[in-house]
């Protein structure tokens, strides 16, 4: 089973103004993201505020996404959780709902033995019956899997690849060299140009909710050997990301999409909405690139 496409948005989770999930608004967000040429969605991950939600809330969002878009675009369900039981329940749902793949961060909070992490991934693969992408995000998950351990995990044919949300392009290149048949997606948006040049199979990121076309442009330009064009596109993304990092990535993205009329609502505490100053900076940037 192949995973079609290369550029996927790490989807925000629409909420109301009180921070309750609003599955009824998933469709509008998805249509907006896809209108910029993005190839699919990666739902219920970091950008989706998933660790702040119950299993039922995550299931409602994953169901709304599948009902809206399964079979029309590539859908990847992030099902990672602190407990195998939670992850397996969501993996079963993804299998039933017509997702193309599942993905999971290593089990977090406790420091687990490697063998237990392996068992967690095998349980998810068994439950979903779908290709599984390891979500490597050591800065947030607390688990920094070595190159050898990632390669060992990928020996399981059900593991389709890695979403690599870190900044080590050397490790990224080593993984690609040792496992060229696996999918390696890059998740640090501000460095996508480097990963594309290093042979990435694509990118999955938060800012793709708003400017997914920019990453398509970087990818296409690198494939064509046009480094100047790739650099110009990446520059647009990075001017935005510099502001976003000051504003707060998830609150900042939600602010921008709300301004564009895409109702993604508020964030869930302890996240808080962007400050007045950050909102002004974001609005000025959007106006400067004619996003309105
Ligand atoms: C996900 O599952 O939501 C992601 O893939 C998150 C990827 C983001 N990384 C983090 C640490 O949240 O898109 C990136 C990130 O927001 C961007 O590169 C700006 O730093």
Of 105, 49, 43, 54, the residue nearest 80 (C-alpha): 105
In a domain, 280, yes or no: no
Residues 6+ apart with CB under 8 A from 46: 10, 137, 140, 165, 206
State the closest ligand 1 atom to the C-alpha of 46, by its place in the atom list counted from 1: 3
Tell me the CA–centroid distance for residue 118 and ligand 1, in Å.
24
Q: Cα–Cα distance between 217 and 37 in angstroms, integer?
A: 10
pLDDT value of position 292: 75
Ligand 1 first shell, C-beta below 6 A: 10, 42, 45-47, 78, 140, 165, 187-190, 204-207, 241, 249
Residues 6+ apart with CB under 8 A from 63: 23, 93, 97
Q: Cα–Cα distance between 53 and 221 in angstroms, integer?
A: 38
In a domain, 242, yes or no: no
Percent of the chain with pLDDT over 70: 100
Tell me the CA–centroid distance for residue 168 and ligand 1, in Å.
15
For the chain, what is the domain count? Answer: 1
* 3-state class (DSSP) for residue 103: strand
In a domain, 291, yes or no: no
In a domain, 206, yes or no: yes
Q: Cα–Cα distance between 139 and 137 in angstroms, integer?
A: 6
Of 217, 215, 222, 179, the residue nearest 198 (C-alpha): 222
Best residue among 12, 46, 102 to mutate for probing ligand 1, ranked by most atoms within 8 Å of CB: 46
Confidence band (pLDDT; 50, 70, 90) for 176?
Answer: very high
Tokens describing residue 247: 């504003």
In a domain, 59, yes or no: yes
In a domain, 263, yes or no: no
Tokens describing residue 253: 């993205």
Q: Which residues are catalytic?
A: 135, 163
CA atoms 202, 203, 204, 208: torsion sign:
negative
Q: What is the pLDDT of residues 211-246, one digit of tens each?
A: 999 999 999 999 999 999 999 999 999 999 999 999
pLDDT value of position 185: 98
ipTM of the complex: 0.97
**What CATH number does the domain containing 76 carry?**
3.20.20.70
Tokens describing residue 166: 């870190």
pLDDT value of position 59: 98
In a domain, 292, yes or no: no
Domain around 92: 7-226
- DSSP letter assigned to residue 40: E
Average pLDDT, the chain: 97
In a domain, 214, yes or no: yes
């Amino acid at each position: 089973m192949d995973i079609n496409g290369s550029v996927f948005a790490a989807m925000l989770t629409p909420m109301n103004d009180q921070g309750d999930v609003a599955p009824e608004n998933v469709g509008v967000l998805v249509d907006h993201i896809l209108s910029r040429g993005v190839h699919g969605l990666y739902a219920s991950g970091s950008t989706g505020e998933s660790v702040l939600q119950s299993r039922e809330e995550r299931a409602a969002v994953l169901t709304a996404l599948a009902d809206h878009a399964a079979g029309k675009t590539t859908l990847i369900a992030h099902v990672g959780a602190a407990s195998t039981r939670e992850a397996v329940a969501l993996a079963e749902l993804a299998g039933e709902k017509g997702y193309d793949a599942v993905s999971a961060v290593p089990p977090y909070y406790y420091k687990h033995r490697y063998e237990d992490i392996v068992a967690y991934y095998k349980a998810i693969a068994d439950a979903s019956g779908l290709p599984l992408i390891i979500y490597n995000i050591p800065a947030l998950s607390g688990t920094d899997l070595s190159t050898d351990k990632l390669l060992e995990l990928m020996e399981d044919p059900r593991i389709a690849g890695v979403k690599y949300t870190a900044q080590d392009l050397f490790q990224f290149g080593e993984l690609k060299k040792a496992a060229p048949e696996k999918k390696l997606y890059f998740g640090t948006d501000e460095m996508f140009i480097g990963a594309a040049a290093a042979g990435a199979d694509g990118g999955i990121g938060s800012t793709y909710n708003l400017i997914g076309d920019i990453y398509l442009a970087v990818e296409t330009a690198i494939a064509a050997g046009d480094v100047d064009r790739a650099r110009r596109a990446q520059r647009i993304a990075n001017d935005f990301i510099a502001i976003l990092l000051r504003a707060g990535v998830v609150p900042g993205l939600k602010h921008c999409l709300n301004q564009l009329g895409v109702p993604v609502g508020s964030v869930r505490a302890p996240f808080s909405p962007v400050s007045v100053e950050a909102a002004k900076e974001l609005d000025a940037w959007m106006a400067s690139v004619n996003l309105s």
